[in-house]
Amino acid sequence: MTVVAKKVWTDEELMRIKHEGKVELVDGEVILMTPAGLEQGAISMDLATRLNNYVRRHKLGRVFDAQTGFRPYENMRAPDISFVRKERLPEGKLPKGFGHFPPDLAVEVFAPNERVSDYEDKISEYLSWGVRLIWLVDPNTRTVTVIRANGERQVLGEKDVLTGEDVVPGFKIRVKKIFE
């Protein structure tokens, strides 16, 4: 991970950064994220596809990929997968810029050496923004840590079923399927 000097960044400046991989802005520093490995990318794509197909079929809102930035305050984050309910999206055509509102669901898929503890700052920020549901997908332990808006955490194993709860009503997938 490379860090670029602190400054006040505009959305336009952030969108012009040339980099293969996603970019986040944290406390004035641009963080250039490395591209995902094959396992991480495949898990993220499969889960995003399943979620997106469900959301589109039921007209619940929009699912966004890892390149999509959300900047409700100064920092800008780009979850691996995110979902925004249709009631919270602008009418008509989506804006070309970042979301200046938090997603309802933020999903992070871990790289080989990452753990939940590596995400504590991001979790705190998501919760302070008002993200209603967070899924931390860990291929290393084949678990999903679910974090709710009130901070409650639940770790789901392969035999458990991950649901969208009241954020993505009716969505469910057996955790084992996420890692197949």
**pLDDT tens digits along 63-99:** 999 989 999 998 999 999 999 999 999 887 888 888 9
The closest of 20, 110, 30, 97 to 64, measured between CA atoms, is: 97
Q: Which of 59-63, 93-97, 101-105, 141-145 has the lowest mean pLDDT?
A: 93-97
Q: Is the pLDDT of residue 1 over 70?
A: no
What's the pTM? 0.90
Give the pLDDT confidence score for residue 167 in this predicted structure: 98
Mean pLDDT of 102-117: 96
Element of type H or E holding 52: helix 38-57
Cα radius of gyration rounded to whole Å, the chain: 16
Task: Enter the CATH code of domain 36-178.
Answer: 3.90.1570.10
Q: Are 6 and 33 in contact (CB under 8 A)?
A: no
- Looking at residue 16, its amino acid is R
- Three-state secondary structure call for residue 105: strand
